[in-house]
């Protein structure tokens, strides 16, 4: 028996959008959320895909986040904006903030937009890819419920605080999208399920002792990636995301998969200082240097950030999105509760 | 016998400025370079302090960098600028680029400035501290002669590509300033001198084999910090620094301590979106959370980025700058060559 069911992306989008519409989300936003979550699955980022449907809807039911909101631009200049999300689902709020940054950077050259009071924004690459499709260099970050200790500390003060960058090239964009914790929370859960140990130096018990036991780690505290340097990046993300916008510090964000701290987006138009064709030529040269770099011992090839996700995408857009059975079970329950037709299993 | 001589900062500045003036550097710029290098020593960043005098002057003698240059702003808008450094010493060029970003961000809210064709810019914190003193959030990066392989690769494509961030607080600013390599080149040299091994996972031999032998590592290739995540940050620095400005890619930067690729500076005015006092209050809250975080096993305290440098500064500004004897020997030679009076040893 297969561990997965396969679903066509269009059908999965239709299902996702309908679920959110049943929760009172305006249809345009429901379709945006569906597009976002299914893109995460297509890119292989399953932790940020349709598995979020039950969590986001639970967040709405329990009042952690709203299914409708009056999103307001509370401050705005030619180069900056501050969006208040009215505690609405994060994907439409962060998309609005991103699109503001895009239009401002196109004309002004650089733009920074912050957003506060919003739910979980999903996969950051969704936003930076939007910048790249518009010929812009983009950076996006969020802070999140506290799970990560500062380097040398024994209490969680930061979220997994992901950061994403994207750069256009002549072909597909370079896309960095990474948590600043040493490991993602869901990978610890997976290790616990499989009875495996986790590596040293990535987690502490809740009392601040180093551990390689995934159960202790899951109830405990994560460490930043790359020791004190990753800690510094994690702190930078915290300030950019929570403090620039007046969002909630990670320490005070309610811990649920539907919640978030603040959101920060920065866009830069590379064609202001140089001919865009010259910019692309030099990025392409760099990509080519990386792709033709001989692999080190133990490696088959050298990847550009975004390559693994692009490979998933090419496979899944053709062969359908694999949904693991535990996620599928959650979707079956959602479908029953809401009386929404399940997407068709194609394999 | 002591391993160090101690010098008063003012005397060290006077000596440094005079050396550069003898090389034809305009006196205002020579004083700026002296201020910069001595600040690096005061902050304990000795690799970027007065040890650079013999290297920068060698760079001028050998034609790797110029002692006088016609620095030009070749593109300029309200939010962006591109500086061409005419291959002049990097510190005055990067300071000019930084000051352009400061004045633009103060009025426009956000600003990005690139610089190309410039020598080594010294310690990045010098520039981000300038942002913080002006109430701005700042980011600065440079690329540098290739020493670091992309993750999974066996050839050096990136420089140690440092990045710095600074955030104002009610007291001293938070200052991140770090190489994106797993180890600084001078620390490897130190390990070789002491006959110590270096940790696993930070360097390869020149043939791409992992090594813990500092001599092999020094002739070989460094790895990025934090495995594939640090590689991603290193690549981000490469594009921001070299490609936005049309500077030289690390792979093609001539390898000498007086050279650099491109420089990138970004500044953001946090008082556009929020009251500055509220911004400061929230950054202070975060700093306080970090400082009061109970230390983990094996740690005495939790530091905020910039704390170690501030402690050095407090000590050295009072007690003088310790110069190790091998650096002192180099300075003695420079003083003799140029007929400049050596600074007085105070201890």
A112 and A36, same structural domain?
no
Instruction: Answer yes or no: do A152 and B299 touch at CB < 8 A.
Output: yes
Measured between its terminal Cα atoms, the distance across chain A in Å is 11
DSSP states of A317-328: HHH-EEEEHHHH
Q: Domain of residue A211: give its range.
A: 183-222
CA distance B247 to B261: 6
Residue A290 lies in a domain: no
Minimal C-alpha gap between A192 and chain B (Å) = 23
Asked if the model's pLDDT at residue B213 lies above 90, the reply is: yes
* List of chain A residues whose C-beta atoms are within 8 Å of the C-beta of residue B101: none
Asked if the model's pLDDT at residue B207 lies above 90, the reply is: no
Instruction: Answer yes or no: do B229 and A225 touch at CB < 8 A.
Output: yes
Residue A306 lies in a domain: no
B70-98 pLDDT, tens digit each:
999 999 999 999 999 999 999 999 999 99
Mean pLDDT of chain A: 96
Which DSSP category does B303 fall into?
P
A252 and A155, same structural domain?
yes
pLDDT recorded at residue A192: 84
Beta strand pairing call for A110-118 and A80-88: parallel
The CATH code of the domain that includes A201 is: 3.30.60.50
pLDDT recorded at residue A134: 98
Number of structural domains in chain B: 2
A261-308 pLDDT, tens digit each:
999 999 999 999 999 999 999 999 999 999 999 999 899 999 999 999
pLDDT recorded at residue A2: 55
Residue B273 lies in a domain: no
Give yes or no for a contact between A325 and A3, defined as CB atoms under 8 angstroms apart. yes
B278-327 pLDDT, tens digit each:
999 999 999 999 999 999 989 999 999 999 999 999 999 999 999 999 89
Task: Tell me which residue of A247, A231, A235, A310 sits closest to A94, measured CA to CA.
Answer: A247
A242 and A214, same structural domain?
no
Task: State ipTM.
Answer: 0.97
Give yes or no for a contact between A175 and A166, defined as CB atoms under 8 angstroms apart. yes
B102 and B34, same structural domain?
no
A62-89 pLDDT, tens digit each:
999 999 999 999 999 999 999 999 999 9
Asked if the model's pLDDT at residue A184 lies above 90, the reply is: no
Using a 10 angstrom Cβ sphere, with 0-12 exposed, 13-18 middle and 19 or more buried, the burial of residue A314 is exposed
Minimal C-alpha gap between B218 and chain A (Å) = 17
Residue B200 lies in a domain: yes
* List of chain B residues whose C-beta atoms are within 8 Å of the C-beta of residue A137: 239-240, 244
Residue where a domain stops, chosen among A206, A238, A268: A268
A106-136 pLDDT, tens digit each:
999 999 999 999 999 999 999 999 999 999 9
B95 and B49, same structural domain?
no
Residue B248 lies in a domain: yes
Residue where a domain stops, chosen among B231, B247, B268: B268
Q: Residue A190 — pLDDT band, cuts 50, 70, 90?
A: confident
Instruction: Answer yes or no: do A204 and B274 touch at CB < 8 A.
Output: no
Instruction: Answer yes or no: do B302 and A78 touch at CB < 8 A.
Output: no
Mean pLDDT of chain B: 96
B241 and B96, same structural domain?
yes
Asked if the model's pLDDT at residue A96 lies above 90, the reply is: yes
Give yes or no for a contact between A14 and A343, defined as CB atoms under 8 angstroms apart. yes
pLDDT recorded at residue A316: 98
Instruction: Answer yes or no: do B290 and A153 touch at CB < 8 A.
Output: yes
Q: Which two tokens stand for residue B277?
A: 């006092």
CA distance B345 to B347: 6
Q: Which two tokens stand for residue A326?
A: 């535990």
Residue where a domain stops, chosen among A192, A222, A252: A222
pLDDT recorded at residue A1: 47
pLDDT recorded at residue B1: 47
pLDDT recorded at residue A8: 98
A241 and A132, same structural domain?
yes
A3-21 pLDDT, tens digit each:
899 999 999 999 999 999 9
pLDDT recorded at residue B109: 98
Preferred mutation among B272, B280, B307 to probe A, highest tally of A CBs within 10 A: B272
The CATH code of the domain that includes A255 is: 3.30.1370.60
Residue B307 lies in a domain: no
Residue B302 lies in a domain: no
B88 and B222, same structural domain?
yes
A150 and A37, same structural domain?
no
Q: What is the pTM of this model?
A: 0.97
B120 and B15, same structural domain?
no
H or E stretch covering A163:
strand A163-167
Which of B110, B272, B299 is facing A110, going by the closest CB pair? B110
Minimal C-alpha gap between A295 and chain B (Å) = 4
Tell me the mean pLDDT in the region A337-344.
97
Which of A80, A176, A204 is facing B296, going by the closest CB pair? A204
pLDDT recorded at residue B2: 55
A260 and A139, same structural domain?
yes
B34 and B172, same structural domain?
no
The CATH code of the domain that includes B23 is: 1.10.1530.10
Residue A317 lies in a domain: no
Asked if the model's pLDDT at residue A152 lies above 50, the reply is: yes
Tell me the mean pLDDT in the region B2-10.
91
Q: Residue B269 — pLDDT band, cuts 50, 70, 90?
A: very high
Give yes or no for a contact between A240 and A247, defined as CB atoms under 8 angstroms apart. no
CA distance A14 to B57: 67
């Amino acid at each position: 028996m297969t561990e997965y069911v396969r679903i066509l992306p269009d059908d999965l989008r239709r299902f996702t959008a309908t679920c959110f519409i049943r929760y009172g989300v305006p249809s345009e936003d429901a379709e945006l959320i569906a597009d976002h979550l299914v893109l995460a699955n297509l890119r292989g980022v399953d932790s940020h895909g349709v598995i979020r449907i039950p969590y986001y809807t639970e967040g709405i039911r329990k009042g952690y986040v709203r299914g409708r909101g009056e999103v307001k631009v509370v401050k705005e200049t030619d180069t900056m904006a501050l969006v208040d999300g009215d505690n609405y689902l994060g994907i439409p709020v962060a998309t609005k903030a991103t699109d503001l940054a895009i239009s401002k950077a196109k004309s002004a050259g650089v733009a920074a937009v912050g957003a506060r009071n919003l739910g979980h924004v999903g996969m950051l690459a969704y936003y930076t890819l939007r910048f790249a499709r518009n010929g812009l260099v983009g950076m996006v970050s969020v802070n999140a419920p506290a799970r990560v200790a500062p380097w040398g500390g024994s209490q969680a003060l930061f979220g997994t605080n992901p950061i994403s960058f994207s750069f256009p090239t002549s072909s597909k964009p370079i896309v960095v999208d990474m948590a600043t914790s040493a490991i993602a929370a869901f990978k610890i859960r997976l290790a616990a399920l499989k009875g495996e140990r986790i590596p040293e130096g990535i987690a502490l018990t809740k009392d601040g002792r180093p551990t390689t036991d995934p159960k202790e780690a899951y109830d405990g505290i994560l460490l930043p990636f790359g020791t004190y340097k990753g800690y510094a990046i994690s702190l930078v993300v915290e300030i950019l995301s929570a403090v620039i916008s007046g969002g909630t510090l990670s320490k005070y964000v309610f811990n649920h998969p539907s919640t978030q701290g603040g959101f920060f987006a920065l866009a830069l138009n590379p064609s202001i200082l140089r001919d865009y064709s010259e910019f692309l030529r030099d990025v392409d040269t760099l990509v080519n240097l990386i792709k033709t770099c001989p692999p080190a011992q133990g490696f088959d090839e050298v990847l550009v950030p975004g390559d693994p996700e692009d490979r998933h995408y090419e496979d899944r857009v053709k062969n359908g999105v694999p949904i693991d059975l535990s996620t599928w079970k959650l979707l079956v329950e959602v479908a029953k509760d809401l009386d929404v037709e399940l997407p068709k299993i194609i394999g």
